[in-house]
Structure 1
Amino acid sequence: MKKLILSAAALALVAGAASAETVRLGTEGAYPPYNYIDDNGEVAGFERVLGDELCARAELECEWVTNDWDSIIPNLLSGNYDAIIAGMSITEERKEKIDFSQNYTPPSYSAYAALSEDADLEGGVIAAQASTIQSQHIVDSGATLLEYPSFEDSLAAMVSGEADAVFADKDTLVPVVDEGSAMWVGEDIALSVGIGMGFRKSDPELRAKFDAAIASMKEDGTLNEMILEYLGEDSPVFE
């Protein structure tokens, strides 16, 4: 009997250790307003607040890890973190490598910004962040693509005149246009079914926990409130 009690206690300790295991959330930290590094060196932005709330609802202990965008999927697959929450659009190509949660933003728009309304979007040079749906669209459009490792670098190329325009998620360009550093050119383009969290295909249980948390935020309206607060009043919300 004593052995049984000791065994039960040992199992309880093991279960407690497992439940306390920290889930690591990987983000870029260079894609405002979705994610960026604040003055205190901490991850901030829409996805920081969202991720913390999702972890609370899923009753998970979470920590944040930053990773360059161009290796964010490979480093998820190699185990450097457990989930991606980094402004990643859900695409069929990415689904071949990883699984996605349900979307935590509705289908949204990509847009062009330039210094001049006469910017040549069809035959000119367009800057975009590498390995994004925007960079692929530029290739498909026939324009000349200048790829950069970060959104900020692609934006700088447009501002310096190295590129005729920059093409990115519209939400990321709104502050740039609002402050007068550039103007909208061309038409907004719907390229995405929304943004979701990325998981290894071997982690369906973890994905399910975050799926349930996202669903609860949609249901009680807090996700829409967060989108409007952090991404802007013109951002699409869930109906």
Structure 2
Amino acid sequence: MKLLTTLLSSAVLALAVAGTAQAEDKLRLGTEGAYAPFNTVDKDGKLAGFDIDIGNALCKAMATECEWVTSDWDGLIPALDAKKFDAIIASMSITAERKEKIDFSKKYYTTPIKCIRAVGTDVDPTDEAKLKGKMVGVQSGVVADNFVRGKFKDIVEVTAYKTQDEANLDLLAGRVDLVCADSVVLAPVVKDEKNAGKVEFIGGDFNDVEFVGEGVGIGIRKGDTALAEKLNKAIEQIRADGTYAEINKKYFDFDLYGE
């Protein structure tokens, strides 16, 4: 009986260890799924985009299975803290404000903020006289939101949207005068044949570190240094072995990583 009890205990322990190992071999990644071309849902209902490809490549480099979880943008950090997933890969900029709540990996890309306006209008983010009293659309809670409120706080009226697509559509409909966002996110809007002659970039690049941050990184829970180290090594690996370049080429005609 004692031998049987010992064997049963050993079997239970082995199963527990195996279960733990299996859990550790899966990395749950949180993303928004509404921020093309970085993370979006394709016509088949599957997650796609630069962030998704990078996340899958990082998991492969770490010999880890990826499991993707979607969340509204405003819910990503709370969901991370609630352990609904292990990391955020959703084009989240590394800012001082966010670093108070979560930790980050090293950056995996960096881009400036740009603004677009309707063709034929004279609104200009570099000219206070042409900006005063204008309606500016941004996605709520992203760096462009902080940038517009911080840079033009007493000059413009800000309309914040749940998604970037909603802001873009309101610009095309004439409900806002200017939209500011990540330059790469706005580029397809300007280049889209359906929008030819309707929208244009104005004002150049805005790279204010105070608002833009230190680049885009992977958000992780405070103190999870082990995961941060694994992600940083994986980022270095896919940069070195050409995987990053292949993914980059799929979406962009320039190196998104930056300096």
Name the structure 2 match of 1:42: 46
Q: Could you tell me which amino acid in structure 1 is paired with residue 159 of structure 2?
A: L
1:43-64, Cα deviation, whole Å (9 max, x unpaired): 1111111111111111222211
In structure 2, how many angstroms separate the alpha carbons of the residues matched to 1:238 and 1:156?
Answer: 29
In structure 1, how many angstroms separate the alpha carbons of the residues matched to 2:173 and 2:83?
Answer: 38
CA contact (8 A) 1:103 1:197 kept: yes
In structure 1, how many angstroms separate the alpha carbons of the residues matched to 2:46 and 2:256?
Answer: 27
Q: 1:114 aligns with which of 105, 108, 117?
A: 117
Shift in Å, 1:229: 2.0
More off after superposition, 201-210 vs 46-55? 201-210
Equivalent residue pairs, number: 237
Equivalent positions of 1:42-61 (< 5 A) are 42-61=46-65
| Identity, % of aligned positions | 36
Q: Could you tell me which amino acid in structure 2 is paired with residue 145 of structure 1?
A: V
Name the structure 1 match of 2:250: 229
1:169-197, Cα deviation, whole Å (9 max, x unpaired): 01111111112522111111112421111
In structure 2, how many angstroms separate the alpha carbons of the residues matched to 1:213 and 1:51?
Answer: 10
Shift in Å, 1:202: 4.0
Q: What secondary structure does 2:115 align onto? A: strand
Q: Could you tell me which amino acid in structure 2 is paired with residue 20 of structure 1?
A: Q
Q: 1:211 aligns with which of 232, 237, 248?
A: 232
In structure 1, how many angstroms separate the alpha carbons of the residues matched to 2:177 and 2:189?
Answer: 15
Q: Could you tell me which amino acid in structure 1 is paired with residue 17 of structure 2?
A: A
User: Are 1:125 and 2:125 counterparts?
Assistant: no
User: Are 1:183 and 2:200 counterparts?
Assistant: yes
Q: What secondary structure does 1:168 align onto? A: strand
1:1-39, Cα deviation, whole Å (9 max, x unpaired): x79887766554433222211321110000000000011
Q: Could you tell me which amino acid in structure 2 is paired with residue 73 of structure 1?
A: I
In structure 1, how many angstroms separate the alpha carbons of the residues matched to 2:216 and 2:38?
Answer: 11
In structure 1, how many angstroms separate the alpha carbons of the residues matched to 2:70 and 2:62?
Answer: 22
User: Are 1:167 and 2:219 counterparts?
Assistant: no
Name stretches of at least 5 consecutive residues in structure 1 with no aligned partner.
none
Q: CA RMSD in A?
A: 2.2
Q: 1:103 aligns with which of 86, 107, 113?
A: 107
* Higher alpha-carbon Rg: 2
CA contact (8 A) 1:28 1:69 kept: yes
Name the structure 2 match of 1:150: 163
